[in-house]
Structure 1
Amino acid sequence: MIGMMRGKKYKWLIPILIAGLVSLGGQTAYPVICNAEIVEGAAPYDGDLEKARNNALKDAMRTLLEEKVGMYVRSNTEVDMGVVVTDKIVSRSTGYVQIKSIISEGVQGGVFVIKADLEANDTNIEVKYKDDVAKAMAAALEPRVANVAVVGYGLDGQVQRDERAVNIVSQYLSDMGIQTVVNDNVATLLAHNPNPLPADLRRLARQDSDNSANSVLSGTLRDVEVYKDSSGYYRGEVEGSFSLVGIQNGYSQNYVERFTGVGKTPDGAVFAARREAAAQATEYLARAALKTMQFENRGGVNNLNTSVEIHGITERAAQSQFFNSLLEGANCRITRAGFAPDGSYKVKIIGSGWDSLYELAQEIVQAAADRGITLFQLESTTKIILQVQ
C-alpha cells in the first residue's frame, strides 16, 4: 500500500477555501479546497543539522503527499509509480504544498524530528499525478529495454527477490523512457552471488527469452541493522549495491552506498532505507543507461541505437518508402517500422558512424530538403522526432 505513514496528522475541522480561480494547463478550474494539516517528519541525524532538518521537512511533505497521491491510485501498476510522482512533487513543492509554519523541531537521539503546519493543493496534485503517470506509461513503450533484477538480504539471513525495489527501479527507468523486463535468472544469480562478474550478467541476459534488452541493471539490498532510537523512531541501515552492464558492449558501472531510513516500525525504517537506495541508484545509473543503450561501439565504429518518429505523413505507402530510403542512405539499418495510432511513422534504427542524435537528425533533414521535402526537428533527448511541413 502506498501511504506508509511516518508521522501523525491532525486534520483541521474546517478546510480552507482558496478564493479565486486557478489556471491549470491553460484551462480554468473551480476554486480549490486545500486541507491544512499538522504533519510530523523525521530523518536520520548524523552531525549535519541543516541536512537532517531539510530531509525531515521533506519527509513530512512526503507523508502528506502520499496520502494525497493515494487518492488517485487505482491499480497495482500505479502503486509504485506513486513513489516516483510523490518524490517529484516533493522536489518541486511550489504549487503543491505550502509550509504555513513550523510547530516544533529538534534532535531526539539520532533522529531529527519536525512538526510542520502544511497545506496541500489537492487539485494541483491530482493533475500532476495523472500527468506524470501518463507520461511515464507512454515512455515505457519506447524501444529501450533493460533487464532488471533486485534481491534483498534480510537480517535473518533470508534472501529473496525484492518486489518493491524492483517496482521502484522499473518505474524510475520507465519515467526516463526505458522499458524494463524482469530477469529471474539474474535474480537467482544475485541470490547466490551478490557481486557477479559483468560477463555472467551478460551471459544470462542473452539467454533471456526477450532478447530486445541491451543492458542489465542488477542490485542487491543488504539489511545491515535496525534498532529503536532514543527518539522512539526505528533506524534502519541498508547497503545498496547496483550495477549497470551493457549486453552488446563492454560497458559496466557500479553504484555502492549505505542508506539510513527512519520509521515508526522496524519494517518501516528498512523500507525507507531500501526505497532511498533503489531510487538514488537508479537515478545515478539510468543517466548512464540512456547513453549506454543509445550508443554501442563495435569494431571502433559508433552505432546509434534509437528510434525516429515522423509526423505529418499523408501518403503512407509512398512516403514511408521515401523516408526508409533516407534512413538507409544515412547508414541506418532499419530493425522495425510501422504506423502508430496517431498516424506517425515510427522506425527503430541502428545508425552506423554517428556520434549524436542531433547530427543524424540534421543529415535526415538535409537529405529530405535535397529532395524537396521540408522537415522540422522537434525537441527530444531520447529519440529523433521530425515533422513534415
Structure 2
Amino acid sequence: MKRKLLLSSILGFSLLAGGWLNPVACHAEVVTGQAAIVNGDMAKAKQDALKDAMRSLLEQKVGVQVTSETQVEMGMVVRDEILSRSTGCILVNKVLREWQSGGVYCVEADLSANEKQIETTVADLKSRLQALGNQQTSRSTLVLAVSGRDENGNPKPIESVRKYIQARLGAQGFTVGADDEINNYLDKQTDLDNPQVGVEVRRLARNSFSGANAILRGTLTTQKAVRQNSFYEAMVHASFEVVGIDSNLSDSFDDYFTAVDADKDKAIQKANEMAVSKAAESLGKQALSTVQTESQGADRLLKMVLVVNGMTDRNTQLAALRQKLGGLRCRIIRSGFMGGTLQMLVEANGYATTDDLSAAICSAAGLQPGDSNQNAVGANKLYFSY
C-alpha cells in the first residue's frame, strides 16, 4: 500500500508537552555512559561518555510520558534540544567511577534531573515551534528521500530514522513530506550517484507533493559495528544534500559519527541519531534559504564523481585532499572508499569544463590524471592517481 505523510511538528509536540507539565522534585540517579576513544583523546571520550549518561537519563524521563509514534519522535527532538542548549536540566553531581574497556571509555555518574527546569525548557521550545509553524508557507515543504546502507553497501531499513529526520526538521519550521514510493525506489538502487536516480526522485516528489519545492536526499551508511570487549562500537557515515526541485540550488552535509552500546543495533541507532541531529542542525538554515530562493532560479553547478587511486595513507591524504578541494570551490556531497579507491561526489563552482576542473585539482593537490574506466556506469567521473 502506498503511503504518504506530511508531518506537522506543532501537533506532535503539543501531544508530548501536555504529559510533561507535572513537575516533581529533583531526584538523583546513578547512570552509566560509554563512548569510543578516538585518536587517544581521553578527555573527549570522558566528556562524550558523560553526555551519553545524560542522554540515557533524559530518555527515561521522556519515555515515561510518550504513548504514540509521533510523541516518540518529538520526544527525541526534546532530548536533543535540552542536551545541545546546556540548560541545567540534567546536573552531574559526581562522577562515581570511570574506567576503560578496550577502546571504550566508561563512566558511572550521580545525575539529577531538574524536572521543573525541563518543564520550562519544554514550554519555551513549544512556543518557538508554534511561532515557526505560523511562519510556514506552501514554499517550505521538503520531500524526504533518504536511504540506509549496511556494512556491505546493501539497502538497510531505516524507517525509524526517517521519522526522526522528519521530526528534527519539523522542529525547525519545515513541513516534511515522506512517500513510500520514493523510499522503496531508493532502497532498490545500487548507484545513488547516478544522475537518473535524482531525476526519478524529483519526478516522484513532484507527483506526490504538489506544494514541495526541495528534496532532502542522502544516505546513512553503517561503516562498521565491531565488538569492543562487552560493548559494540558503531561508525555511521552521513551524507545529505538539500536540492531544489526546479533549480539546482543545493546544500550538503558529509561526516562520520561513532557511538557505543552493549547492544549492536542500539549502537548503530545511536550513531544514526547523532548523525541526523548534527545534519539537521547544519542543513536547517541552509535548507530554508534553498526553499525560499527556489523560484529565483540558479546556474547549474558542475557535479562530478572524483575517483582517486593509489592512496597509501588514507587519513592523511583524505584530510589534505578535502582541504585542497575546499580551496578550489569544490563542495563534497558524498564520499567513501570502495576497495582501495576513493570516490567523492563533488559540486564545483566556477569551472567552464571538466578539463578545467581536472587541471585545477591536479595542480593544487599534486595528483596525476588517472586511467578512465570506459565500462563505468552512473554519474560522470574524473579519474586521478597519486
TM range (shorter): 0.5 to 0.7
Cα displacement (A) at 1:157: 6.3
How many residues of Structure 1 are paired with residues of Structure 2 in the alignment? 272
Cα displacement (A) at 1:215: 0.6
Q: Kindly indicate whether the alpha-carbon contact (under 8 Å) linking 2:143 and 2:205 is maintained by their aligned counterparts in 1.
A: no
Residue 286 of structure 2 is matched in structure 1 by 288
Deviations 1:172-223 (A, max 9, x none): 1111101100033432343203335385266325532321111100121222
Residue 9 of structure 2 is matched in structure 1 by none
Residue 42 of structure 1 is matched in structure 2 by 34
Cα displacement (A) at 1:146: 0.2
State the secondary structure of the residue aligned to 1:151: strand
Change in Cα spacing, 1:89 to 1:267, as seen in structure 2 (3 Å) is same
State the secondary structure of the residue aligned to 1:249: coil
Distance 2:238 2:108 in 1: 30
Cα displacement (A) at 1:299: 6.3
Deviates more, 1:194-203 or 1:82-91: 194-203
Residue 120 (str. 1) matches residue 113 (str. 2): yes
Distance 1:154 1:30 in 2: 42
Distance 1:254 1:189 in 2: 22
Q: Kindly indicate whether the alpha-carbon contact (under 8 Å) linking 1:37 and 1:119 is maintained by their aligned counterparts in 2.
A: yes
Q: Kindly indicate whether the alpha-carbon contact (under 8 Å) linking 1:236 and 1:260 is maintained by their aligned counterparts in 2.
A: yes
Residue 44 of structure 2 is matched in structure 1 by 51
Change in Cα spacing, 1:81 to 1:299, as seen in structure 2 (3 Å) is closer
Residue 69 (str. 1) matches residue 74 (str. 2): no
Cα displacement (A) at 1:234: 0.9
Distance 2:226 2:84 in 1: 29
Structure 1 runs not aligned, ≥5 long: 1-28, 302-389
Q: How does 1:142-291 map to 2 (within 5 A)?
A: 142-143=136-137, 144-155=140-151, 159-191=155-187, 192=189, 193-197=191-195, 199-200=198-199, 203-230=202-229, 232-291=230-289
Identity %: 35
Q: Kindly indicate whether the alpha-carbon contact (under 8 Å) linking 1:186 and 1:218 is maintained by their aligned counterparts in 2.
A: no
Distance 1:84 1:30 in 2: 20
Change in Cα spacing, 1:196 to 1:86, as seen in structure 2 (3 Å) is farther
Q: TM-score, normalised by structure 1?
A: 0.63
Residue 348 of structure 2 is matched in structure 1 by none
The code of the aligned residue for 1:183 comes to D
Change in Cα spacing, 1:71 to 1:131, as seen in structure 2 (3 Å) is farther
The code of the aligned residue for 1:34 comes to C
Deviations 1:296-326 (A, max 9, x none): 363689xxxxxxxxxxxxxxxxxxxxxxxxx
Distance 2:77 2:163 in 1: 10
Q: Kindly indicate whether the alpha-carbon contact (under 8 Å) linking 1:151 and 1:219 is maintained by their aligned counterparts in 2.
A: yes
Q: Kindly indicate whether the alpha-carbon contact (under 8 Å) linking 2:147 and 2:218 is maintained by their aligned counterparts in 1.
A: yes
Deviations 1:98-148 (A, max 9, x none): 111111123321111111111111233244336535654674572210001
Deviations 1:251-287 (A, max 9, x none): 1233222221111111111111111122222222222
Change in Cα spacing, 1:79 to 1:137, as seen in structure 2 (3 Å) is farther
Q: Kindly indicate whether the alpha-carbon contact (under 8 Å) linking 1:96 and 1:125 is maintained by their aligned counterparts in 2.
A: yes
Partner residue of 2:125 out of 114, 123, 132: 132
Instruction: Give the structure, 1 or 2, with the largest relative contact order (CA under 8 Å, sep 6 or more).
Output: 2
Distance 2:74 2:23 in 1: 28
The code of the aligned residue for 1:102 comes to V
Distance 1:120 1:279 in 2: 22
Distance 2:22 2:130 in 1: 28
Distance 1:206 1:184 in 2: 11
Residue 91 of structure 2 is matched in structure 1 by 98
Q: TM-score, normalised by structure 2?
A: 0.64
Distance 1:177 1:293 in 2: 12
Structure 2 runs not aligned, ≥5 long: 1-20, 300-386
